[in-house]
Structure 1
Amino acid sequence: MDKLKLYIIGFLVAIIAIAAGIIYKWGFWMLVRIVLSLGFLGLTLMLGFFLALTLYAESWKYAGLLVIPTALSAYATYLTITWQKLKVVGGIILLFAFGLVFGIWYISEPDLSLTDRFRSAESLERAGKYKAAARKYEKKGNYLKAAEMYEKLGWMESAAWAYEKAEKYEKAAEIYEQLYEKEKDTYYLKEAHEYWKKAGNMERAAKALERYAEEEPWFWEDVAKLYEELGNEEKARKAWEKALEYYKGEAQEEGVFWEDVGNIARKLGMEELAREAYQKFLEYCLKEAENDPMWWKHVAEAYEYLGEKDKAEEARKKYEEYRQRIIKSNEETSNFPEEKGSQ
């Protein structure tokens, strides 16, 4: 058992012991008196703090709302300490309980006015209160109607969210494509791609991702794979070619990307380019392996690409030797000698 649990148990035991002691010494009603006094005192201090805060901020509206409950709580504190007018105390408790329930109910629909809360979604829709109607439809689980309300409001992202909840993924995808046309933010194309996939329309999903890749070129490989799944070899090849161009550019900055260049070039039947790329990838890996033996694994892969199996095996052995050293080192550091006092 950890210390926190012990502290909690100890605290609870102490509280129970104190309560039992009070009952034994002065009776049950003394315990009630103390609990109510402390409870109202704490509530008064809390309300008083927030009242002072709102007054300091010159928020007169909220200060006015806090004055009465603070005064009532302070009065109840006095009555419970002096143990008089218990019916009044009971009334104050009921009043605070009602206020708590009302507050929770009010917070549950913060966007609705007090009168709108008692109207149906259909009534609010007819009155042109689309925001309130949308919230009501959401609460009823009618996300399709909620989406329609959001569209009337022009809240297109909220409409897309509601269509998703209604499992109308194609509508959500269409909205995100419209948002892209308006905002020119590629995020919307990525979302459209995801929703077209959910809708099962892989052709539209591929088109959306293709448009996305025009802005974010590292996705051309995903576009190519998607078109391959669709059996569209022509578009897949074009996407692979664009992915190749992207990786060639990246490889100029970071040599690790020569592997991707080689893989795509080989896929496209460009063997000469593939071999050249793998050779550059090998050179990069050999250089990295000088400082980090972990790279011998990739050196082996590069030799495999080039068909040099003996050298690949030699590199793989170096990687395995390094790996065994690491394993042995970890075992040694984990086997600490026992202290004499623990024997």
Structure 2
Amino acid sequence: MDKLKAYLIGFLIAVVAIAAGIVWYGGWKLLLQVILTLGFLGVTLMLLFFTGLTLYAESWKYGAILAIFTAVSGYGLYLSATWRSLNVVAGIIVFFIAIVAFGIWYISEPDLGLADRFRSAEKLERAGKYKAAARKYEKAGNYLKAAEMYEKLGWMESAAWAYEKAEKYEKAAEIYEALYDKEKDTYYLKEAHEYWKKAGNMERAAKALERYAEEEPWFWEDVAKLYEELGNEEKAREAWERALEYYQKEAQEEGVFYEDVGNIARRLGKEELAREAYEKFLEYCLKEAEQDPMWWKHVAEAYDYLGEKEKAEEARKRYEEYRAKIMRANEETSNFPGEKEE
């Protein structure tokens, strides 16, 4: 048994013992009086704290409401402690239970006015209260109608969300494309791409991703692969060419991208460019391997690209030697002093 369980059991035993002592001393009536008094004391102190906090924040309206609740609870505390007017005490308890129940009910639909809570979604829609109607439709699981309400409100992202919940992915995709045209935020194109995929319209998904790649060029490779899946070789080649342009620029800044240049150039049948890129990638890897032997793995890959198998094997051997050395070092450090092998 852990300490927490032991403490809990000890606490429960103490509470039961105290309750038993109170019953033995003054009967069940005294126990009920103590419970009510302590209960009202706790509620009063809590309400008093929040009343002070609300007034400090200069929220006079809610501060006044909480002050009334605090006074009612304080009165219940007084009556319980003096054991007077028990019918009033019971009424105060019922009052607070009703307030809590009302609060839970109100929080369940925080955006609706009191009268709107008792109206159907259809009536709210006819009354032009589209926001309230949308919330009602959502709660009923009618996300398609909720989406229509959001569109009438001009809340297009909420409409897209509701269409997604209704599994109308093509509508969500159309909304995101329209949002991109309006806002010029590439996030919307990425979302449109994902929803066209969910809708099974891969042609539109590819077009959305292509537009996205115009702004975020590292996605040209994904565009090319998607067009290949669709069997559109012409569009795929165009995308591969754009991807090649992007990686050539990146390779000028960071040599590791020469591998991507070589791979794409080879895919496009540009063997001379591919070999040149692989040679530069090899040069980059050799420099890195001088500082970090882990790079011998990539040196081996570069030699493989260039068809130099013997050098590739030699580099791979150096990588494996380094890896074995690291593993031995890890094993040694894991054997703590004082440990004995069984």
Q: Structure 1 residue 259 and structure 2 residue 256: aligned? A: no
Size of the aligned set, in residue pairs, is 340
Which stretch shifts more, 294-303 or 108-117? 294-303
CA separation of 1:215 and 1:41: change in aligned 2, threshold 3 A: same
Q: Which amino acid aligns with 2:185?
A: D
Shift of 1:17: 4.2
Partner of 1:153: 153
Instruction: Tell me if 1:93 matches 2:84.
Output: no
How do 1:211-230 residues align onto structure 2 when only pairs under 5 Å count? 211-230=211-230
- TM-fit CA distance, 1:93: 1.0
Instruction: Give CA-to-partner distance per residue, 1:224-265, whole Å, 9 cap, x none.
Output: 000000000000000001001111111111111111111111
How far off its partner does 1:20 sit? 4.1
1:160 maps to a residue whose letter is: A
State the partner residue of 1:296. 296
The answer to which of 167-176 and 75-84 deviates more is 75-84
The SS at the match of 2:291 is coil
What SS does the aligned partner of 1:290 have?
helix
Whichever residue aligns with residue 147 of structure 2, its letter is A
- After superposition, the C-alpha distances for 1:8-61 in whole angstroms (9 at most, x for unaligned) are 444444444444444455444433333322221121111111211222232221
Structure 1 pair 317/24, CA: closer, same or farther in 2 (3 Å)? farther
- CA-atom RMSD, angstroms? 1.7
Corresponding position of 2:306: 306
> Structure 1 residues 242 and 5, CA, compared in 2 at 3 Å: closer, same or farther?
farther
Aligned-residue offset at 1:291: 1.4
Correspondence 1:180-219 to 2 at 5 A: 180-219=180-219
Aligned equivalents of 2:212 and 2:326: distance in 1? 43
Q: In the alignment, what sits opposite 1:72?
A: 72
Q: Which whole-Å CA distance do the structure 2 matches of 1:9 and 1:336 have between them?
A: 39
Query: How many Å separate the matches in 2 of 1:27 and 1:293?
Result: 82
Aligned to 2:336: 336
Matched, 1:47 2:47: yes
Is 1:34 equivalent to 2:34 in the alignment? yes
Which has the larger displacement, 49-58 or 167-176? Answer: 49-58
Structure 1 Cα separation of the partners of residues 10 and 316 of structure 2: 59
SS in 2 for 1:117: helix
Against the structure 1 CA distance between its residues 316 and 223, is the aligned structure 2 distance closer, same or farther, given a 3 Å change threshold?
Answer: same
Query: How is 1:228-247 mapped onto 2 (pairs within 5 angstroms)?
Result: 228-247=228-247
Q: Which moved more, 1:40-49 or 1:140-149?
A: 40-49
Q: Identity over aligned residues, as a percent?
A: 80
**3-state secondary structure, aligned to 1:106:** helix
Gaps of 5+ in 2: none
- Residue 162 (structure 1) aligns with: 162
Alpha carbons of structure 1 residues 14 and 328: separation in structure 2 relative to 1, 3 Å: farther
SS of match in other structure, 1:231? coil
Alpha-carbon distance between aligned partners in 1 of 2:2 and 2:292, rounded to the nearest angstrom: 42
Q: 1:295 to 1:33 in 2, by over 3 A?
A: farther
SS in 2 for 1:112: coil
28-37 vs 77-86, greater mean Cα deviation: 28-37
3-state DSSP of counterpart to 1:209: helix
Letter of the 1:293 counterpart: P
Determine whether 1:250 maps to 2:250: yes
Counterpart amino acid of residue 68 in structure 2: I
Judging changes above 3 Å, is the alpha-carbon distance between structure 1 residues 248 and 29 closer, same or farther for their aligned structure 2 residues? farther
| TM-score, normalisation: structure 1 | 0.94
The equivalent of 1:143 in structure 2 is 143
Quote the Cα distance in structure 2 between the aligned partners of 1:335 and 1:24.
Answer: 63
Partner secondary structure for residue 206 of structure 2: helix
Change over 3 Å in CA distance of 1:176–1:318 after alignment to 2: same
Q: 1:68 to 1:202 in 2, by over 3 A?
A: same
Amino acid at match of 1:157: E
Letter in 1 for 2:275: R
Deviations 1:288-323 (A, max 9, x none): 111111111111111111111111111111111111
Rate the CA distance shift 1:7–1:314 in 2: closer, same or farther, 3 A: farther
Q: CA separation in 1, counterparts of 2:22 and 2:258?
A: 80
